[in-house]
């Protein structure tokens, strides 16, 4: 029998605990105590969070870099992990753990690589051609990736004097159009494309009293033979960044 007070195992004929002296009238199941350290279990059929035999709650492991000993547990945990994007950047899987010093170094390396890739992504987006032709002349389409769309709303105040406000009107519409173009370029790059063909743009007045207009743009993302495409590694990083 196990003592409910201290967890000591006592012979069945005893009425009092040999260790603490408490009565054994209120007997509990042996499964409520760890068989190794005799301490109460947090969960009757679970692992003990106190003794060294627990693998689910207290796992001893080592830093992936400096190989220093780490402990992963409920109460104490000095094992550190990278986030999903940092693991993709550095090529690590989710099982890799680090000490505090090494994880800081790895995060710094990942941050530098991310900044370098962002510059490349911006350059590629600027180079993506957006054309209205369905079949561009002198270019070979390698693959059709899919349809890309984008919308933006433009609010133009006081259009009564259109001549006086024409510059403001044009500026707002230009900003809306640029937003749509950048959006469909980003969607195309997410699909692994390097060009957009058959692009069409539509304008619609949504609200006359408020002078709100919608700009909608649509095209087909394709891969052209003569333009650069992202590698599989770069594609995974880009898709993670733009989510």
Looking only at Cα atoms, what is the longest distance across the chain?
104
**Same structural domain for residues 3 and 77?**
no
Residue 187: pLDDT band with limits 50, 70, 90: very high
**Same structural domain for residues 114 and 73?**
yes
**Same structural domain for residues 14 and 108?**
no
pTM: 0.65
Domain boundary at 101, 119, 137, which? 119
**Structural domains counted in the chain:** 3
Q: Give the model confidence (pLDDT) of 115-124 as tens digits.
A: 999 999 999 9
The confidence score (pLDDT) of residue 17 equals 75
* Structural domain containing residue 46: 1-55
- Average pLDDT estimate for 37-58: 56
Per-residue tokens: 55: 């693998």
Q: Is the pLDDT of residue 203 over 80?
A: yes
**Same structural domain for residues 138 and 208?**
yes
Domain boundary at 32, 55, 78, which? 55
Residues paired with residue 67 on neighbouring β-strands, in sequence order: none
Q: Give the model confidence (pLDDT) of 50-97 as tens digits.
A: 564 444 334 458 888 888 888 766 666 778 889 999 999 998 888 888
Q: Give the model confidence (pLDDT) of 116-147 as tens digits.
A: 999 999 999 999 999 999 888 888 999 999 99
Whole-number CA gyration radius for the chain: 32
**Same structural domain for residues 132 and 222?**
yes
**Same structural domain for residues 150 and 82?**
no
As a whole number of Å, the end-to-end CA separation of the chain is 58
Pairing of strands 69-72, 195-207: unpaired
Q: Give the chain's mean pLDDT.
A: 80
**Same structural domain for residues 211 and 162?**
yes
């Amino acid at each position: 029998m196990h003592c409910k007070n201290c967890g000591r195992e006592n012979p069945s004929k005893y009425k009092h605990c040999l260790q603490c002296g408490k009565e054994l009238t209120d007997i509990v199941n042996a499964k409520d105590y760890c068989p190794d350290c005799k301490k109460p279990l947090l969960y009757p059929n679970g692992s003990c969070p106190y003794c060294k035999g627990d693998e689910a709650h207290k796992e001893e492991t080592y830093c992936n870099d400096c190989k220093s000993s780490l402990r992963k547990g409920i109460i104490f945990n000095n094992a550190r992990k990278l986030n999903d994007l940092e693991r993709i950047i550095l090529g690590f899987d989710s099982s890799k753990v680090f000490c505090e010093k090494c994880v800081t170094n790895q995060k710094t390396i990942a941050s530098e690589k991310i900044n370098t890739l962002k510059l490349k992504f911006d350059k590629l987006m600027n180079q993506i051609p957006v054309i209205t032709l369905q079949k561009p002349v002198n270019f070979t389409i390698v693959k059709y990736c899919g349809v890309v769309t984008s919308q933006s709303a433009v609010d133009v105040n006081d259009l009564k004097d259109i001549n006086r406000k024409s510059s403001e009107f044009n500026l707002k519409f230009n900003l809306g159009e640029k937003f749509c173009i950048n959006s469909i370029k980003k969607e195309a790059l997410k699909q692994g494309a390097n060009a957009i063909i058959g692009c069409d743009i539509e304008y619609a007045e949504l609200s006359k009293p408020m002078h709100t207009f919608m700009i909608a743009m649509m095209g087909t993302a394709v891969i052209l033979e003569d333009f650069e495409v992202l590698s599989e590694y770069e594609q995974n990083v880009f898709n993670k960044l733009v989510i």
